[in-house]
Structure 1
Amino acid sequence: MGICLERLAVIPLDTEEAGNAALTGAKAANLARAAAAGLPVLPGFALVPQESASDLPHGPSAVRDAWRGLADEEGRSLVVRSSSAHEDTADSSRAGLFASELDVRGWDNFLSAVQAVLDSSRRSRGPARGGGDPSAGMAVLVQPMLRTVVGGVMFGADPVAGRDDRILVSAVRGGPEQLLAGTVQGVRYQLTRHGRLVATEPREHRRDRLLGRRRAWRLVRLAHQAKRVFGEPQDMEFGFDTDDALWLFQARPITALALRAARGARLLGPGPVAETFPEVLQPLEEDLWMAPMSHGLTLALDSAGTAPRRVLRAVPPVTTVDGRVAADLRLLGAVPSAHPVLDFINPIPGARRASAAWRVGRLRIALPMLAVDLMADVDRELTQMPPPQEMLSGQILAALAWGRNVLSSLHAQESLVGSLVGQGSGATAVGEALAVLAEGRSRGITDAELLARHPVLLSLLPPSLERPGRLPHRTGWTGAPRGVEALPAREGLRLRIRWVQEMQASLVREYAARLQTAGRPDALRQLSTLRWPELAGILGGEPWTADVDERALRPDSRPLPAAFRLSQEGRPVAEHIGGRGRGRARSRDRGHRTGQGAGGGLGIGTAWHGRGPRPGHAVLVVRTLDPALAAELPELGGLVAETGSVLSHLAVLAREYKVPTVVGVPDAVDRFPQGVELTVDGTSGTVETVRKGPENEPVSAGAEEGFA
C-alpha cells in the first residue's frame, strides 16, 4: 500500500508545536526541547497524521518542500526515524522496536523510508508498558545524515550502580548506529561529573584514544546541559563530525536506573520490630502505636547511655517506610558498628557509658519493682475504664491519650528489662496463649469466646483497627496454662502493651460505629487515614478535615528488606549486612551462614518456608519472626530468621521449647530453599547446608571445608 501524503502534516523541529510529545512523539519532542535550549541538535522536521495537526502545513507539496529543504539540490542523505509517544519515555525506551532508515537519498527512496517506518509501527507486538497501542501517536522524524568520525552512546548517570556522580560513554569510530546494532563493541569510558577519566575498557594507548581530554570534557558538559533541560540524567546518542563539532542525535530518560542510597542514609531494617507490627500500618495506627514505641525506645537508649542525646533527639529509633515499620539497626545494636576500630579508640562512648553506669546499676535493681508497679497501674486503669459504648467523646479522647503516654513507658521499661534484667523464668505470653487456646478448643469453646475470656490470646494477634485477625488453626500445644501472673517482667510488660493497643482499637471502632449511625458509612476507613492531632481535634468538637473523603488507605506493600537504606526518593535500597573478616566471606560462598544464636541447642532437619507440606523434621526458615508462626514451633528441628533479635517473642518461645534458633542470617530464605538439609546451632549462631557422605551419613558442608 502506497503512502498517502494527503494525510501527513509537517512540523519543523524549531517550532513550538514540535515540543509536544503527544503530537510529534517523544524522540522528536526531546530533540525540539534540546534545540530550543541551545543544545547542538541538527535541523529537521516531523511528519504527523494530518488529523492531529489540521492547522499546520500538510499534503504532498508541504512534505516535498520540507524534504527539499533538508536534502537540498546536492542530494544530501537523510535519516528517517520513528518518533512514537510510547518510546523514549521514562517508563520504557522501546529501543529498536521501530524502524530507522539511514543514508536515504532521493525523493522516491525518502517516500519508501517513511513508509517503512510507519509499517514498523503497525507490525510491533505487545502493548506499550503501562498500556496503550505502541503504534498510536506515531510520527516520523527526518534529519540530515551526518558523517561522524566518532560516535556513541552516553549515560548521564551509571544505570547499574545508580550513581549520579558517574557518566558512562561507549564510543566507536564512525556513527553510533554500530553500537546500537551490536556489530561493534566500542570503547567504554567511565568519567566523573567533572570529566576526569576513572576507567576505560578495553585499555587504550593515550595517543590512540577515541575520546581525548577535550572531547570527554565536552561530552560531560553536554550531559550536564541535558540534565538541566530535562530535569534528570539522559541516555543520549552523539557524534563528532569531520570538523570535530559535537552533535546530539537523541536524548531520552534513563530507564531502569538502579536506586542508590542517599548520602548519609541510616541503616534500617524491620528485624527488631517486625514481630510487633508485621503488616502495613495506617496513619492513625502509626500515631497510636508506632510513635509511642519510638519514644519509649528513645527513653530506654538514653537511660542506658548507649547513644548520645544529640543523636537521639535527631534520629527516631523506629520509623515507617510505605507504612511498614523499620528500626534503626545500628542505634538499636542489631548490627555491628560500621567503624569498630574507631569506636574502640574513641573515648567518648566509654565516658558516656561510665556516666550512665550508676543509672544502669540502680536500674537493674529497681526495674523489676518498677515493672510490677507499672503493670499494676495499667491493670487498674484498664479495669476501671467504662465500656466503650458508655463513654462520651471526651472520655474516648482522654483514654486514647492516656494509652499513647503509657505505651511509651511500657516500651521503655520492656526494652530496659529485656537488656538489663533478662528473661527470668523463660515463660512467654505467646506460650501461655497457645496453651489456653489448645485447652479451650478441646473443651469446645469458640475462638470468639476464648478471646473475650482470656485477653492473653491477644499476644497471638498483631494490633489493628480492624477486627482482630484469626487465631492460629494449628496449636499442638501440650503445656498447661500457668496464668498471666507467672510471666516474667518483660513478658508481662509486652502483654500490657498489647492490651492497651487493643483498648485503643476498640475505642476507635466504637467511635466509628457512632459516626456510621450519624451518616458516615465509611467512618472506620476515614478515621484510619487521620493523624492523631486530627482525631483529637474531631473528638474535641472541631470540624472534619476537608480532604478526608479523598484520602485512601495505604495499600499493602512488599515486605521491607532485612537491611536497607533510603534513596533520595525515599525508596528502600537493600544492603547486605554480613559479618567481618575473610573467613566469613568465604563461608558465605560455601553454604555456611552465621547469624546470632538465640539458644535451643543443635538441630538438624529439612528447610521449610512455611508453605506446602511440612517435612517430618522441619527447619523453619523465614524472613521475620511473626508471632503467628508460634503454632508451628512444636517438633521443629530448628528456626532460622533473616531478621529479629534473641529477645523476640518467637525466639524466647523457641528457647522455652528447646528449638535451635538463629536470627539475623542474611538472605536465609533465598540461600536455603525448601528441601535442603540444614544444621542449626542455636549457641554459635551458625546455619549450614548438609550433604550425604559415602556412608549416606550427614556431612556439614561448612565442616568439610574447615568452617565448623
Structure 2
Amino acid sequence: MTMALRFSEIDAGSLAEVGGKAANLGELTRAGLPVPPGWVLTTEAYRQVAQGLDPSGDGLAERARRHLLEAPVPAAVHEAIVKSYTELGAELGGDVPVAVRSSATAEDLPYASFAGQQDTYLNVIGSEAVVDAVRRCWASLWTDRAVAYREANGIDHAAVRLAVVVQVMVDARVAGVMFTANPVTGRRREAVIDASPGLGEAVVSGAVNPDRFVVDGGRILERHAGDKRLSIRSVPGGGTERVETPYEGLCLTDDQVRALAELGARVEDHYGAPQDTEWALDEHGELWLTQARPITTLYPLPERTRPGLRVYFSVNVAQGVMGPITPMGRSAIRVISGGAAGMFGYGPADPRDGAPFLSVSGQRLWFDLTTAVRSRVGRALAPRMLTLGEARAVPVFEQLIGDPRLSLVQTSRRPALRALLRFARRIHAPSRALLALTRPAKALEYATGIGDRLDRRLQVPDSATPAQRIDHAERVLTHTFATIVSVMPMAVAGYGLFALASKLSGVPLSDMQDILRSLPNNPTTEMDLELWDLATRIEAEPFREQPVAELVRRYRAGELPPVAQREIAAFLRTYGHRGVAEIDLGVPRWSDEPAHILGVLANYLRMDGAADLAPPALFAKGAQEARAAIDRVAAAARRRGRWRAAVVRFGLRRTRQFAGLRELPKFYVVKTLAGIRRSMLKVGEHLVESGVLGSAPDVFFLGMEEVRAALGGGDLRQVVAERRAAYEQESRRRHVPRVLLSDGTEPEALASADSAAGALTGTPASAGTIKGVARVVLDPIGAHLEPGEILVCPSTDPGWTPLFLTAGGLVMEMGGAMSHGAVVAREYGIPAVVGVADATHRITTGQEIEVNGAAGTVTLM
C-alpha cells in the first residue's frame, strides 16, 4: 500500500487509508477551497508500527502508548516521511514549517467528531522532527481521553487506525474556528465565528477569550470583543510560544467576517451539512481553511417539513421515551395517528401516511404545532395543555407567539369547534360522561370491558398468511383508537367535577391534591401493587442471592421454585405486554425479556423495613387521607351553602372513581401494540425462512409497507444491519429538544435557565418535603433503588413505576403536573418536582438533596 498521499490524491472515500481529518482536507482541496498544501502518512504506516499490540485488557492505554513510542519506525515508513516532507519543502523553498496532526479512521464522523482527542504538533521544522512528531501522534491514539471517548461512542479499539497529516503552517495574523450553524441554538445557516490574534490553537484549546461574531445571510447579528490576553505564535527554528498580548477592539473587520461566513457557506454547500471549521488569516489578508468536520451535536432537521417556519413538539419527550423509535414502531404510530386525525375530520387519504401533523427527526416523532402557534384557539388552549403534560414547554410556546415569523393567521374559532364536536360525537362523549355521572358501576364495567374486546380483536388465526397479518395489523391500528379513547370522557368527567368542587368550595386545586392519592381503577397502580404483593408470595431464594441473568435463565427453563415460577408467569400473562419505552412496537415487552421484572422482585426481597412502610399500607393510608380531604373540602363548601356541600361530596366521590381511568387508554394502546408485535414476529419468522432477514426481530427495523414488499423476496439483511447501527448510535444521543423549529433552532436554548442559589426549580407535582440521598437513574432496567432514596431521572413511562414503590421522592427533567410520573407520584404520596432542567447532570448519585413538591424546588445540600 502507498505510505504517503498528497491532499489532491484523496477524498471522502479515502477514510480507511487516511482517516477523517485528512479525508476532509483532501475533499476540500479537490473542491477548490483554500487549503494549505500538504500530504498524509497513511494508516498502513501505523499498522506496521502497531503490529503485536493487543487492544484489550487492563492498562490498555498506557501499554499501547509505550509500545508506539518505543517501537522502531520501519525503514520504509521513515523513508516515506522524509521523502514527502522534502518534496513539500522543495516546492516552497527548503525546510518548511508544518503542522503535524493526527487523523484517525474514527474521527470527524457525522456522529462523533473526536475533536481534540488526538494530538497536533505545530511549527515542526526538519524531517527528523517530523518523524518524531508522527510517532507522538501515533501514541496519542491511546490517550486516556481518546480511549474513553471511543468506548462512550461504541467504537471498537481494534478497528481504529491512525494516519498523520503533514500540512504547511500558515503564519496566522488572526485565526480561529467557525461553525456554519449556531451550535448553541441549532439555527442553520447562522455562522458563529471565534477569532483571536495568532495561531488558532489559542481558540481551539480554550486558552483565550476570543472575539465572537454571529452572521446570518451577510448580516452581522452580534459582535462581542473578548479580552484576547494570550496569543500563541510560531518560534523561529520550530515550536510555539505563548505571549501575553493585550488587544483592544475587534481583531476582524466586518468585511473579513462576511468573507469568512461566505467561505463557510461554500464548505457547507459542498458537504450538504453544517460544518465545524478551523481557519487562518495570514499576514497578506488571505483566508485559509485548515480543517472541516461535521457539527455532530446538532439535532437533525424534521422530515416532511412544509413551506415556511414550522414549530415541532417532541412526542418522545411527552411520552417519557428519550431514545429513538424503531422503523416499525414509527410506522405503527403513523397509522394510529392517521385514524385519530380522521376522527377530527383531518385524516389523510391513506391512514398509513399518518396524520399531516406528524413528522420524524432523529428517529423520533414530532407534532407540528405551527397551526396552534398561529391560531387564536391554539394560543389559548396549548399553554394550558402543556402545563399539564410538559410544563417547561409553556414559556417556549409563549416566546414563539411573539416571533413575527409566526404571526396570527387563524382568528376564527369555528374550525376548531367543528373538529372538536365531530370528535366528541364519534366517541359518544356526552353519553359516556352522563353514564359516569348517573351509573358509575355500568360506566366502569364498560371501561374494563374494552380490554376483553381488544383481546378478541387482536386474535389472528395461526393459519393466517403474512400478508393477512399485515392487513390485520393496519386495520386494528387504524380503527382501535376510537374504541380506546371512548374511556376518556369518563376520566374527563372525573377531573371536571374535581375543578367544580374547587369552585364551589373556594378551596384552591393545589390544596386538594390529597383527594387524588391512591386512586382506584388505575391499571398502572394496580400493576405496581400486584408486583409488590407477588414479592410477598414467592420464595425468597434464589432472588436474594442470584444475579438477574441467572434468574432469567431459571425462569425460562422452568427451574424457579414452584410458587415463583407459577406466579410470575401469571403476572406476565396480565401485564407482560408492558415495558420501558412501550409506545414503540419494536421494543421487547416484559414477557419477551423479563429481566427488569425479575430484578425488581429481587430488589424487593432484599429489603428490610417496617410493615407500615410497605406500599399496600401506604396506599391504604393514602385512600384514608383522600376521604378525610373530601370531608374537609365538603365542610368548606357547606359554609357557603348546604347544597354546595352535597354537590361537592358527590362530585369528589365521582372524581375518585373515574380519575384513575386516565391511565387506561395508554394501557389499552400498549396492549394493542404488544398483540401486533406478536403477529409481526410471525411475519419475521416467515421472512427468515425466505432468506430476506437474519432473525425474526429484524422485522421491526422495517416499516409496514417495507415488510409487505419484502414478502416478494429479496435480501434485506444489510439494510437491517445498517439501521440497527444507526439506531444504536442515535440511542446514545444525550439531548433531545422538547421544541424544535424547522430551521434547526431549539427555542429553549435561546433563554437562560437561571435558578435560585443552591436550588433547582421545576414544576410542583406532588406535595410534601423530603430530605434524602439522590439516586440518578437513566435506564430503569437493572436499576436498584434503596428504600427512601430520591429517584432522579430524565422522564418516566409506566415501565419505570415499580421503582416508585420504594422511592422517597421523585425529580424528573421532563413533565408537567399531569404527566405520568407526576400522577403516579401523587397517588403514592411521594414528594415530586418535574420539569427540572438538566437534573440528571446537576445532581449526582449519593448527593443529599431536599425535594419540596409544593414549591417545585430541589435544594442541593
Q: Please give the alpha-carbon distance, in whole angstroms, between the structure 1 residues aligned to 2:741 and 2:761.
A: 28
Q: Please give the alpha-carbon distance, in whole angstroms, between the structure 2 residues aligned to 1:417 and 1:594.
A: 30
Which residue among 135, 141, 144 is the counterpart of 1:122?
A: 135
* Change beyond 3 A, Cα 1:235–1:296: same
Q: Please give the alpha-carbon distance, in whole angstroms, between the structure 2 residues aligned to 1:405 and 1:39.
A: 53
Task: Provide Cα deviations, 1:407-448, integer angstroms capped at 9, x if missing partner.
Answer: 322454355554455399643112323444455665554455
Q: Say whether the 8 Å CA contact 2:345–2:419 is kept in structure 1.
A: yes
Q: Please give the alpha-carbon distance, in whole angstroms, between the structure 1 residues aligned to 2:204 and 2:263.
A: 24
Task: Provide Cα deviations, 1:580-606, integer angstroms capped at 9, x if missing partner.
Answer: xxxxx6644441423143x4x424231
* Change beyond 3 A, Cα 1:407–1:678: farther
Q: Superposition RMSD on alpha carbons, in Å?
A: 5.7
Q: Please give the alpha-carbon distance, in whole angstroms, between the structure 2 residues aligned to 1:423 and 1:478.
A: 28
Q: Say whether the 8 Å CA contact 2:98–2:168 is kept in structure 1.
A: yes
Shift of the alpha carbon at 1:25? 8.9
Q: Say whether the 8 Å CA contact 1:190–1:198 is kept in structure 2.
A: yes
Matches within 5 A, 1:683-702: 684=854, 686-689=856-859
Matches within 5 A, 1:296-315: 298=341, 302=344, 314-315=356-357
Q: TM-score, normalised by structure 1?
A: 0.68
Q: Please give the alpha-carbon distance, in whole angstroms, between the structure 1 residues aligned to 2:213 and 2:676.
A: 57
Which residue among 557, 575, 586 is the counterpart of 1:457?
A: 575
Q: Please give the alpha-carbon distance, in whole angstroms, between the structure 1 residues aligned to 2:537 and 2:787.
A: 28
Q: Say whether the 8 Å CA contact 2:485–2:665 is kept in structure 1.
A: no
Look up the match of 1:287.
331
Q: Please give the alpha-carbon distance, in whole angstroms, between the structure 2 residues aligned to 1:460 and 1:375.
A: 17
Matches within 5 A, 1:447-526: 451-452=569-570, 455-458=573-576, 461=579, 463=582, 464=587, 467-470=591-594, 471=597, 472-473=600-601, 474=604, 476-478=614-616, 489-512=661-684, 522-526=694-698
Which residue among 690, 699, 712 is the counterpart of 1:543?
A: 712
Q: Say whether the 8 Å CA contact 2:313–2:368 is kept in structure 1.
A: yes
Task: Provide Cα deviations, 1:203-235, integer angstroms capped at 9, x if missing partner.
Answer: 899998754455555545544455556666463
Q: Say whether the 8 Å CA contact 2:336–2:477 is kept in structure 1.
A: no
Other structure's SS at 1:621 match: strand
Other structure's SS at 1:120 match: helix
Look up the match of 1:605.
771
Which residue among 519, 522, 525 is the counterpart of 1:431?
A: 525
* Change beyond 3 A, Cα 1:641–1:392: same
Q: Say whether the 8 Å CA contact 2:177–2:203 is kept in structure 1.
A: no
Counterpart residue identity of residue 526, structure 2: E
Q: Say whether the 8 Å CA contact 2:102–2:165 is kept in structure 1.
A: yes
Q: Please give the alpha-carbon distance, in whole angstroms, between the structure 1 residues aligned to 2:804 and 2:340.
A: 29
Matches within 5 A, 1:303-702: 314-316=356-358, 333=386, 334=390, 335-336=393-394, 338=396, 340=398, 348=411, 364-368=429-433, 376=449, 379-380=452-453, 382-383=455-456, 388-389=461-462, 396-397=469-470, 399-410=472-483, 412-414=485-487, 417-419=490-492, 421-422=494-495, 426-438=520-532, 445-446=563-564, 451-452=569-570, 455-458=573-576, 461=579, 463=582, 464=587, 467-470=591-594, 471=597, 472-473=600-601, 474=604, 476-478=614-616, 489-512=661-684, 522-536=694-708, 542-548=711-717, 550-552=719-721, 554=724, 555-556=727-728, 557-558=731-732, 561=735, 563-565=737-739, 575=748, 587-597=755-765, 599=766, 601-609=767-775, 614=785, 617-634=788-805, 636-647=807-818, 651-673=822-844, 674-681=846-853, 684=854, 686-689=856-859
Q: Please give the alpha-carbon distance, in whole angstroms, between the structure 2 residues aligned to 1:152 and 1:678.
A: 47
* Structure in which a larger fraction of residues adopt helix: 2
Q: Say whether the 8 Å CA contact 2:176–2:204 is kept in structure 1.
A: no
Of 666-675 and 367-376, the range deviating more from structure 2: 367-376
Other structure's SS at 2:850 match: strand
Task: Provide Cα deviations, 1:549-603, integer angstroms capped at 9, x if missing partner.
Answer: 6413634514774743559899x96946999xxxxx6644441423143x4x424
Shift of the alpha carbon at 1:121? 0.8
* Change beyond 3 A, Cα 1:339–1:177: closer
Counterpart residue identity of residue 834, structure 2: V
Task: Provide Cα deviations, 1:636-688, integer angstroms capped at 9, x if missing partner.
Answer: 5433333345555554444334334443333333344444242433xx46234
Structure 2: which 5+ residue stretches go unaligned? 46-75, 151-156, 229-245, 302-308, 347-353, 373-381, 436-442, 498-518, 539-562, 606-613, 624-656, 778-782
Q: Say whether the 8 Å CA contact 2:331–2:703 is kept in structure 1.
A: yes
Q: Please give the alpha-carbon distance, in whole angstroms, between the structure 1 residues aligned to 2:423 and 2:206.
A: 70
Which residue among 162, 171, 176 is the counterpart of 1:153?
A: 176
* Change beyond 3 A, Cα 1:504–1:679: same
Q: Please give the alpha-carbon distance, in whole angstroms, between the structure 2 residues aligned to 1:459 and 1:99.
A: 57
The alignment status of 1:79 with 2:79, answered yes or no, reads: no
* Change beyond 3 A, Cα 1:348–1:118: same
Other structure's SS at 1:468 match: coil
Q: Say whether the 8 Å CA contact 2:40–2:166 is kept in structure 1.
A: yes
Look up the match of 2:222.
198
Other structure's SS at 2:712 match: coil
Task: Provide Cα deviations, 1:434-463, integer angstroms capped at 9, x if missing partner.
Answer: 444455665554455565588543475455
Q: Say whether the 8 Å CA contact 1:432–1:456 is kept in structure 2.
A: no
Q: Please give the alpha-carbon distance, in whole angstroms, between the structure 2 residues aligned to 1:58 and 1:533.
A: 54
Counterpart residue identity of residue 712, structure 2: P
Which residue among 192, 211, 233 is the counterpart of 1:188?
A: 211
Shift of the alpha carbon at 1:315? 1.5
Q: Please give the alpha-carbon distance, in whole angstroms, between the structure 2 residues aligned to 1:61 and 1:406.
A: 72
Q: Please give the alpha-carbon distance, in whole angstroms, between the structure 2 residues aligned to 1:376 and 1:11.
A: 72
Task: Provide Cα deviations, 1:276-302, integer angstroms capped at 9, x if missing partner.
Answer: x687543334433x33553466467x4
Q: Please give the alpha-carbon distance, in whole angstroms, between the structure 1 residues aligned to 2:205 and 2:776.
A: 46
Identity of aligned residues (%): 15
Which residue among 260, 267, 286 is the counterpart of 2:313?
A: 267
Task: Provide Cα deviations, 1:19-61, integer angstroms capped at 9, x if missing partner.
Answer: 997889988887777676665677x675979x99x9xx99999
Q: TM-score, normalised by structure 2?
A: 0.57
Counterpart residue identity of residue 503, structure 1: G
Other structure's SS at 2:140 match: coil
- Count of residues in Structure 1 that have an aligned counterpart in Structure 2: 629
Q: Please give the alpha-carbon distance, in whole angstroms, between the structure 2 residues aligned to 1:644 and 1:183.
A: 36
Matches within 5 A, 1:151-230: 151-153=174-176, 155=178, 157=180, 161=184, 164-168=189-193, 170-172=195-197, 176=199, 188=211, 190=213, 192=215, 193-194=217-218, 196=220, 198-202=222-226, 211-227=252-268
Q: Please give the alpha-carbon distance, in whole angstroms, between the structure 2 residues aligned to 1:313 and 1:687.
A: 38
Look up the match of 2:507.
none
Of 517-526 and 627-636, the range deviating more from structure 2: 517-526
Q: Say whether the 8 Å CA contact 2:21–2:104 is kept in structure 1.
A: no
Shift of the alpha carbon at 1:535? 3.8
Q: Say whether the 8 Å CA contact 1:155–1:167 is kept in structure 2.
A: yes
Shift of the alpha carbon at 1:190? 1.6
Q: Say whether the 8 Å CA contact 1:122–1:135 is kept in structure 2.
A: no
Counterpart residue identity of residue 273, structure 1: Q
Q: Please give the alpha-carbon distance, in whole angstroms, between the structure 1 residues aligned to 2:432 and 2:257.
A: 66
* Change beyond 3 A, Cα 1:266–1:377: closer
Task: Provide Cα deviations, 1:240-265, integer angstroms capped at 9, x if missing partner.
Answer: 44xx45253x5211576652675645
Q: Say whether the 8 Å CA contact 1:605–1:617 is kept in structure 2.
A: no
* Change beyond 3 A, Cα 1:117–1:432: same
Task: Provide Cα deviations, 1:152-182, integer angstroms capped at 9, x if missing partner.
Answer: 335253775366423525253xx64895899
Q: Say whether the 8 Å CA contact 1:190–1:199 is kept in structure 2.
A: yes
